[in-house]
């Protein structure tokens, strides 16, 4: 793997949907990219839209490595807050909002954006 020092700008743009409520397509696009390397995600719905995060049961250091891999960045050069829910570690959004629904999901590598979006909508409707 090529060493990177700064996050890839395209990946950083996708990662904004971790911190900021976004539309379903933006979150599904980010998740589709993320699951190419790591299939476990956390997703939540707020009054303003959707957010997501990679998730791990291994604590903050494995999460840091997963986020660095997603961003194509050196894990020594990134910093973010994290939280745990049900023993799973995820990125903590910078602007917390009231969450009306959340779920932990596992996707197959190569799941296309439209299928990710459909699964998110389905899971949300089935709550």
Residue with token string 């490595």: 65
Residue with token string 């995060």: 53
Of the candidates 27, 36, 33, which has an alpha carbon nearest to the alpha carbon of residue 102?
A: 27
Residue pLDDT, tens place only, 39-55: 999 999 999 999 999 99
Q: How confident is the model at residue 4 (pLDDT cuts 50, 70, 90)?
A: low
Lowest model confidence (mean pLDDT) among 1-15, 31-45, 79-93, 109-123: 1-15
∠ CA 35-36-42, rounded to 5° = 10
Residue pLDDT, tens place only, 68-113: 999 999 999 899 999 999 999 999 987 777 999 999 999 999 999 9
């Amino acid at each position: 793997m090529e060493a990177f020092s700064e996050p890839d700008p395209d990946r950083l743009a996708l990662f904004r949907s971790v911190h900021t409520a976004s539309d379903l397509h933006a979150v599904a696009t980010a998740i589709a990219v993320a699951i190419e390397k790591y299939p476990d995600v956390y997703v939540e719905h707020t009054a303003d839209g959707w957010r997501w995060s990679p998730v791990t049961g291994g604590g903050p250091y494995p999460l840091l490595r997963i986020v660095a891999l997603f961003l194509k960045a050196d894990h020594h050069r990134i910093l973010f807050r994290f939280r745990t829910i049900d023993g799973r570690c995820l990125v903590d959004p910078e602007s917390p909002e009231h969450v009306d629904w959340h779920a932990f999901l596992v996707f197959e590598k190569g799941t296309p954006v439209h299928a990710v979006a459909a699964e998110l909508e389905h899971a949300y409707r089935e709550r």
